Structure 1
Amino acid sequence: MIRIPRFVPVLTALALAPVEPALAQGVPDTASGMLVELNAAAETPAGACRLTYVATNRSETGLSEIAYEVAVFDAEGIVSQLLVLDFGAMPPGKTRVVQFDMPDQPCEAISRIVVNAAPGCVRAEDGAQSPVCLDGLETRARGAIQFGL
């Protein structure tokens, strides 16, 4: 399994750009759990597919770590990769924009991405694993690549 860090080389783009929670569009105040949106997919000059995710911690649980294991499907529907996407720490109400580059993977070769598990979902208060990352997880996608559970 490949672990994708939550950074992109400085020469290509910022990897982690915090966004104020008030900027999260379409997130009802009564929602709970996590919202993760595959917001954009674009080719880099090096031929990688740069995936941009917008994640919002809509729970009351502060997380010192959050990571999702995802399965990437090719155009024929075959799993081509298993990855762990590391989103870092997320306090309650926090919205974060994170980019991940997939080297040697053109975006048009990806048909869908499925969340398999949340191996890194650690509560900030006590360091214990938390179910909040998968319980009530809502996924969304903008663009041609499907993203879901």
Structure 2
Amino acid sequence: MRISRHRTPWLAAAVISASLTGVALAQDAAPDTETDTDTGTAPALKVELNSASPLDGACRLTFMATNGTGVDVDKLVLETVLLTTDGVVDRLTLFDLQALPANRPRVRQFDVSGLDCGSLGQVLINGIQTCDGEGLDPATCTDELDLSTRADIEVLG
């Protein structure tokens, strides 16, 4: 078979293009080493503000907590600051999330009397007052705390 000189550059370009496409596909299929070699540095104690519901004279804050530390937490108490939509501190309070077994989600509700849910703009986790559990380093509760929200209220920490 004879290849004319006019088609050789096109054929060479097609072969190079196919080779590069194969390399790109192989790279896309390769595992993300940052994710796959993660050794637990990602936050593992997740606390999510799931909802804020008005009650008669109160606001019910519902939290979903998931303990991914691998160690049971016997007691977790969060020092919490509730701020208005204007950024003014409404109150400082403690939320006792109680026991959080390892790798099991738990829902905790707190009825905050005298609080209008519509005026709540932010929930600040100011610190950890209590973090107890057998074999649990108390710093874990601070270092691995991952805060999120599903409500229209910002959660900070």
Q: TM-score, normalised by structure 2?
A: 0.69
Name the counterpart of 1:135: 143
Shift of 1:57: 0.4
Instruction: Choose between structure 1 and 2: higher helix proportion.
Output: 2
Name the counterpart of 2:44: 33
Structure 1 stretches of 4+ moved >4 Å: 29-32
1:145 equivalent to 2:156? Answer: no
Shift of 1:77: 0.4
Name the counterpart of 2:116: 106
Question: CA contact under 8 A between 2:81 and 2:89: conserved in structure 1?
Answer: yes
SS at match of 1:50: strand
Instruction: Choose between structure 1 and 2: higher strand proportion.
Output: 1
Question: CA contact under 8 A between 1:49 and 1:101: conserved in structure 2?
Answer: yes
Shift of 1:143: 2.0
Q: 1:16-58: CA deviations, max 9, x gaps?
A: xxxxxxxxxxxxx9955210000000101x1211000000001
Counterpart residue identity of residue 39, structure 1 = N
Task: Report the number of matched residues.
Answer: 118
Q: Which has the larger radius of gyration?
A: 2
Question: CA contact under 8 A between 2:124 and 2:155: conserved in structure 1?
Answer: yes
Name the counterpart of 1:120: 130
- What is the percentage of aligned positions where both structures have the same residue? 31
Unaligned ranges ≥5, structure 2: 1-39
Q: TM-score, normalised by structure 1?
A: 0.73
Unaligned ranges ≥5, structure 1: 1-28
Question: CA contact under 8 A between 1:120 and 1:129: conserved in structure 2?
Answer: no
Q: How much is the aligned-residue C-alpha RMSD, in angstroms? A: 1.9
Assess, with a 3 A threshold, how the Cα gap between structure 1 residues 72 and 91 changes in structure 2: closer, same or farther: same
Shift of 1:79: 1.0
